[in-house]
Amino acid sequence: MEAYLRRWMKDALAKHQYDSAIYVGDKLLAITDSDAFNLAHAHFDAGNYTRALAFVARADLIQRSPAAKYLAAHCYVQQGRHEDALALLGDKNPTHLITTTDSARRKLQHLHATNAASKSHSSKAKGAAGRLDRADRSEERDLGRREDLKYEAGMCYLRGLCHAKQNAFDRAKECYKDAVRIDVQCFEAFDQLMKNSLMSPGEEWAFVDSLDFESIQVPPPQASEEERHPLGDGRPITTTTAAPSSSSSSAEAADFTRNLYLTRLSKYSRPEEFTTAIETLSTHYALSHNPDILLAKAELLSTTSQYTRALSLTTQILSRDPYNFPTIPLHLSLLYQQNHTTTLFALAHDLAETHPHEPTTWLAVGTYYLLTSRIPEARSYFSKASLMNPSFGAAWIGFAHTFAAEGESDQAIAAYSTAARLFQGTHLPQLFLGMQELALENLVVAREYLTSAWKVCDRDPTLVNEMGVCWFKEGEFGAAVRSFELGLRILEEDGGGNGAGDDGAAGNTGVGVGGDRGLDTQTPTLRLNLAHALRKLGRFRESLEQFDEVIRLGSLALSSSSSTTFSTNPSSSSASSNGNKELCPLFTAKGLVLLELEDYFEATLAFHAALAISPQDPLASELLARALGELEGTGVLGREEEGKVDEGLRRRLGGVRALRARQGAGGRRRRGRGDDGDNDRMDLDGAVATAATAADAGES
């Protein structure tokens, strides 16, 4: 009867018929008096956390089983009773269970020996403990112990959640790390570390390298578990004998799991290993169109400033799974970057109707209002998202952006600082802090923030541009030139790569020829700032080449969402653009360089172009007057060109005289036209007019 009721209960749970499962489980508990855990589990699945806690507390199950203790703590967490959860779980993690590069068996043997020693009080007890230790080394006992280890790892994960709710993020990070070290398959803890950027890129890679993936055991198909009753009298009572695991299958599973974890790491360093992992998962396991793999590729493309290609991947993910919440924050950022107002509005409206309790929903609404320059509304929704999830770093960054957009630097710095505390593994908060300090002319503090960001990510063109602007304002023009050139080189290197399809599945970084390469947003800014720095160094010819290239890219700069500002000084990425009027100072700066090169005629044309865009610009007007003054008494053409024109006119006049002489010999009488010597002294316009008249007469 017990087996029949357990099968019935299991079938009801599989069909999410929780009332049926609870009804049957209640009868099973009355018959056996040992199925309290199963009934508590059914109540937990049904959302009855208080009743689940009451059943799991019966018969002292919490103290006898890690599974029961984990379920009880999880009930507290689901109810928001984090203090009670920590009181049950304790503050210390079982670090003695952490697996290093040795096999999991050695860890299990150590665990068994420790448990046996703690129960030995006599020689007879010691003998029993020795026999128990030998029995624990069998494969059959290892199966139950591995389950206990997984629950211990799960409890470390719950400790981390509780500490995070109390804003103790450093302690939360250590709990998450210990959870993954104890059980490398505890993905929830690993996910918290990655999505909240709790570690720097170097720490992430060192952490993954330290994990013991070899501890993963894959039993052969014939050794699959049958129906299991977790507790009974305090231990598993229905467990099939575990057959030896397949070493080849376990090795493959370990490699597969490691590659999956590598796709979640920071894209700032070791791109070769990341690409290898992506290719392995895409080709060997047909995961090329899996949402998580596509998201990893999109993150890499976004990191390398290839926003259009990244947006195509996130759009592909959401077209198949519209509510894939891990993808939505990046998708929102890319929509904002590309000025896709209509798409952003539709997404935010849909999320507000379907998922009003998700912080990401209000992040989307705030992003839309920020893009449409409705700053107060954007701030309120970013604030709402951060209140729903205090560790939601993206909401804090958006909240800070609203203050930066209004020039409220103090409030922006405070909000960015909170984001920097939450997102320790990304360089963006430090970058934004540096940009704010740069706008306030606090160059020393700005340099510190930018240097901190550089230590995390040295491949961000925006960061390189800000560092160059800082060097420029400090008068270090040579260092500024090197920074701007480095930014351009990074864009070219990241935009190169081998060919790839639209999903970015091939190539050394998933980047193919024909992508946007990020040139529409950052190249004009970097080239313009490079031109100014070269001008300050007196390298006018090189500066003029850069100005001409910026003018060529001007339409891209104006149509993008990049904050390029054309002026006679280097522009920070935090500046704003105002359409075609931004081209006026660009032409003015070009004219200034032409004045330095004493090319006054071309300088005049540049200033006229500037005034055609902004007729009231005082600087362009003043410099135009100076250029026109230099042109007084100077020929329009150069001396060599004017000599060639004069020589050509003399030859033409000689031909006219010969024609006149032949016509005079034929008896024609001409009225006097003056001295031949006068023709040699005619000015340019008169000579052209006379030659044209004579030629017409000869043809007639």
Q: Which of 3-17, 534-548, 561-575 comes out lowest in average pLDDT? A: 561-575
- Give the residue among 405, 403, 394 at the shortest CA–CA distance from 364: 394
Rounded-to-integer distance, Cα 579 and Cα 557, Å? 9
Question: For 212-266, where are the alpha helices, taking DSSP H only?
Answer: 247-262
Please name the helix (run of DSSP H) or strand (run of DSSP E) that holds residue 225, with its range, or none: none
| Tokens 């849909």 found at | 350
pLDDT at 495: 65
Q: Give 493's pLDDT tier (boundaries 50, 70, 90).
A: confident
pLDDT at 193: 93
- Give the residue among 225, 303, 237, 315 at the shortest CA–CA distance from 266: 303
| Tokens 């000869």 found at | 698
Average confidence (pLDDT) over 388-398: 91
More confident: 562 or 254: 254
pLDDT at 138: 43
Rounded-to-integer distance, Cα 591 and Cα 602, Å? 7
Q: Quote the crossing angle between the two packed helices 341-354 and 328-337, to the nearest 10°.
A: 150
**What pLDDT digit, counting tens, does each position of 262-297 carry?**
999 988 888 888 899 999 999 999 999 999 999 999
Share of the chain above pLDDT 90, in %: 53
Residue 499 has pLDDT above 50, yes or no: no
- Give the residue among 162, 146, 151 at the shortest CA–CA distance from 37: 151
Phi and psi at 475, nearest 5°, equal: 85, 10
Q: Give 366's pLDDT tier (boundaries 50, 70, 90).
A: very high
Q: Which of 16-25, 131-140, 417-426, 577-586 comes out lowest in average pLDDT? A: 131-140
pLDDT at 630: 87
Q: What SS3 class is residue 117?
A: helix
pLDDT at 384: 96
Residue 352 has pLDDT above 60, yes or no: yes
Rounded-to-integer distance, Cα 427 and Cα 695, Å? 75
Residue 233 has pLDDT above 60, yes or no: no
**What pLDDT digit, counting tens, does each position of 51-84 carry?**
999 999 887 889 888 999 999 999 999 999 999 9
Share of the chain above pLDDT 70, in %: 75
Q: Give 246's pLDDT tier (boundaries 50, 70, 90).
A: low
514: phi > 0 → left, psi -120 to 50 → alpha, else beta; which? left
Do 177 and 188 form a contact (C-beta atoms < 8 A)?
no
Residue 475 has pLDDT above 90, yes or no: yes
Identify the DSSP state of 374.
-
pLDDT at 201: 87
Tokens of 530: 């490079």
Please give the C-alpha separations between residue 104 and each of 109, 585, 675, in angstroms, as whole numbers: 9, 67, 114
Rounded-to-integer distance, Cα 369 and Cα 357, Å? 19
In the chain, the domains with their CATH numbers are: 2-209 (1.25.40.10), 540-631 (1.25.40)
Average confidence (pLDDT) over 662-684: 53
- Give the residue among 334, 306, 315, 274 at the shortest CA–CA distance from 511: 306
Q: Is 661 exposed, middle or buried (0-12, 13-18, 19+ CB in 10 A)?
A: exposed
More confident: 1 or 516: 1
Q: Give 498's pLDDT tier (boundaries 50, 70, 90).
A: very low
- Give the residue among 406, 450, 444, 408 at the shortest CA–CA distance from 428: 450
Q: What is the number of other CB atoms lying within 10 angstroms of the CB of residue 57? A: 16
Q: Give 521's pLDDT tier (boundaries 50, 70, 90).
A: low
- Give the residue among 581, 622, 582, 627 at the shortest CA–CA distance from 602: 627
Residue 684 has pLDDT above 50, yes or no: no
Residue 135 has pLDDT above 70, yes or no: no
Rounded-to-integer distance, Cα 318 and Cα 321, Å? 5
The 8 Å CB, 24+ separation contacts for 455-460 are 456/200, 456/201, 456/268, 456/425, 456/426, 456/427, 456/430, 457/201, 457/268, 457/303, 457/426, 457/427, 458/268, 459/268, 459/303, 459/304, 459/490, 459/494, 460/303, 460/305, 460/427, 460/431, 460/490
| Tokens 């540096």 found at | 434
Q: Give 663's pLDDT tier (boundaries 50, 70, 90).
A: confident
Verdict on whether the full-model pTM lies above 0.85: no
Tokens of 96: 């003695």
Q: What SS3 class is residue 562?
A: coil
Phi and psi at 499, nearest 5°, equal: -65, 155
Q: Which of 98-112, 185-199, 239-253 comes out lowest in average pLDDT? A: 98-112
Most confident of 426-440, 551-565, 571-585: 426-440
Q: Is 54 exposed, middle or buried (0-12, 13-18, 19+ CB in 10 A)?
A: middle
Do 571 and 525 form a contact (C-beta atoms < 8 A)?
yes
Q: Considering only CA atoms, give the Rg of the chain.
A: 38
Rounded-to-integer distance, Cα 214 and Cα 100, Å? 10
Residues in Cβ contact with 167 at an 8 Å cutoff, skipping those fewer than 6 apart: 390
Residue 660 has pLDDT above 50, yes or no: yes
Residue 631 has pLDDT above 90, yes or no: no
Rounded-to-integer distance, Cα 298 and Cα 306, Å? 9
pLDDT at 515: 36
- Give the residue among 218, 225, 224 at the shortest CA–CA distance from 247: 218
Identify the DSSP state of 221.
G
Average confidence (pLDDT) over 184-201: 92
Rounded-to-integer distance, Cα 562 and Cα 307, Å? 11
**What pLDDT digit, counting tens, does each position of 15-41 carry?**
999 999 999 999 999 998 888 999 999
Residues in Cβ contact with 14 at an 8 Å cutoff, skipping those fewer than 6 apart: none
Q: What is the number of other CB atoms lying within 10 angstroms of the CB of residue 239? A: 17
Rounded-to-integer distance, Cα 323 and Cα 566, Å? 40
Residue 109 has pLDDT above 60, yes or no: no
Most confident of 126-135, 299-308, 501-510, 613-622: 613-622
Q: Give 151's pLDDT tier (boundaries 50, 70, 90).
A: very high
Identify the DSSP state of 61.
H
Average confidence (pLDDT) over 480-503: 72
pLDDT at 100: 61
pLDDT at 305: 80
More confident: 560 or 410: 410
Tokens of 695: 């030629």
Q: What is the mean pLDDT of the chain?
A: 80
How many residues are listed for the chain in this entry? Answer: 700
Residue 680 has pLDDT above 70, yes or no: no
Rounded-to-integer distance, Cα 40 and Cα 61, Å? 11
Average confidence (pLDDT) over 355-359: 96
- Give the residue among 492, 539, 533 at the shortest CA–CA distance from 513: 492
